[in-house]
Amino acid sequence: MRAYVPDFDITVPDRLDDALKMLAEKPGFYRPLAGGTDLMVVFNAGHQIYKNFLSLHKFQELHGIHVTDEEVEIRALATYTDLRYHPILKAEFPMLCQAAAESGAGAIQNRGTIGGNIGNGSPAADTPPALAAYGAEIDLISKDGVRSLPFRNFQTGYKQMDLRPEELIRGVRLKRKSGRLHSYRKVGTRKAQAISKVCFAATVRLESGKIVEAGIAYGSVAPTVGCCEKLEQKLVGLSLAEASKLDPMEVKKLAGESISPIDDIRSSGEYRLKVAKNLAADFVSNLENLNV
């Protein structure tokens, strides 16, 4: 049964400062509304528990992708379409572009936002694994200013985040660095418009022929984004040739320690675990074949 429209209220402030003041005065009363693509699914199913929404659409401070010599800042209301076709993101952060391209159909990509994808808190979201692998920082804004933390620390559990009732997601920041290799894989029921069974994002950065940074993250196989810290540490200091010769069974073991897949309507935990381990082993064994 669909929800009854008159039961809900949407407030549309003209200024971000006004919205932050409202959140501070009534903590937990308002639910921020960005693109609304996830909200409408729940609404149509009659499961929408929130009654009072705060539209963010008018706030120019939350729109756009801003590039400096050091970093790329993606504001919360940047859409999947914005991500897909941004030239700097395509050149330097292609996993994020691919994640955006594989998130729903064109209409969803034109409307859905990166802030909404993050703030929805779903472990099956497509952009968070790429953000975690790239070592993104997330910026949270309140009337008292901006608070920043590593994106990997933002999700604390299923649908739980380090986001205070008076805060909004302002955006995420990615450090621009040369020498990166990238691999993004999404496994779903079909090739397009599917929720992930397993999502895999991995990158390494090279200096003088050695791996100096590694980021490996999963979606849809744990309550939060699963970051393979032990496997990342294993790769650092190796050449691509040395890394590609690591024992696949050791790689799978290290990858499996960061995830805890479950059975649900989309897949079984056993299948997810096997696929996740195979994706990590395939990435490592083929590092020499990836292009910077």
Task: Give the count of domains, the chain.
Answer: 3
Residues in the chain: 292
pLDDT value, residue 272: 94
How many angstroms separate the CA atoms of 187 and 184, rounded? 10
Q: Read off the pLDDT of residues 114-124 as tens digits, 9 standing for 90 and up.
A: 999 999 988 88
**131 & 235 share domain:** no
For residues 1 and 36, what is the distance between their CA atoms, to the nearest angstrom? 19
Residues 171 and 204 placed together within one structural domain of the fold: no
Question: Which neighbouring-strand residues pair with 182?
Answer: 203
| Residues 284 and 187 both lie in one domain | yes
CA distances from 274 to 227, 232, 256, 271 (A): 17, 19, 9, 5
Per-residue pLDDT tens for 191-223?
667 788 999 999 999 999 999 999 999 999 999
Question: CATH number for the domain including 94?
Answer: 3.30.465.10
User: Is the CB of residue 204 less than 8 Å from the CB of residue 109?
Assistant: no
Does residue 171 sit in the same domain as residue 70? Answer: yes
CB atoms within 10 A of CB 284: 29
Strand 31-33: give its sheet, edge to edge: 9-11, 52-55, 31-33
Distance of CA 189 to the CA centre of its chain: 20
Instruction: For 21-51, give one letter per residue: b (16+ CB within 10 A) or e.
Output: ebbeeeeeebbbbbbbbbbeeebeeeebeee
If asked whether residues 135 and 205 sit together in one domain, one would say no
Task: Say yes or no: 65 and 171 in one domain.
Answer: yes
Residue 134 and residue 208 in one domain:
no
Query: What is the span of the domain harbouring residue 72?
Result: 61-175
Domain boundary (175, 200, 215) is at 175
- From 175, 202, 228, the end of a domain falls on 175
> Do 157 and 90 share a structural domain?
yes
pLDDT-derived band at 44 (thresholds 50, 70, 90) equals low
Q: What is the dihedral of CA 231, 201, 290, 236, to 10 degrees?
A: -30
- In a shared domain, residues 211 and 189: yes
pLDDT band at 18 (very low <50, low <70, confident <90, very high): very high
The share of the chain scoring above pLDDT 70, in percent, equals: 94
Q: What is the pLDDT of residues 224-239, one digit of tens each?
A: 999 999 999 999 999 9
pLDDT of residue 43: 66
Answer whether residue 285 shows pLDDT above 90. yes
pLDDT in tens, 243-271: 999 999 999 999 999 899 888 888 899 99
CATH number at residue 250: 3.30.390.50
Same domain, 198 and 257: yes
Same domain, 49 and 67: no
Identify the CATH number of the domain in which residue 26 sits.
Answer: 3.30.43.10
Domain edge (last residue) among 175, 206, 237: 175
Task: Give tens-digit pLDDT for 81-111.
Answer: 999 999 999 999 999 999 999 887 788 888 8
Cα–Cα distance between 268 and 275 in angstroms, integer? 11
Residues 244 and 144 reside in one and the same domain: no
Instruction: Give residue 220's pLDDT.
Output: 92
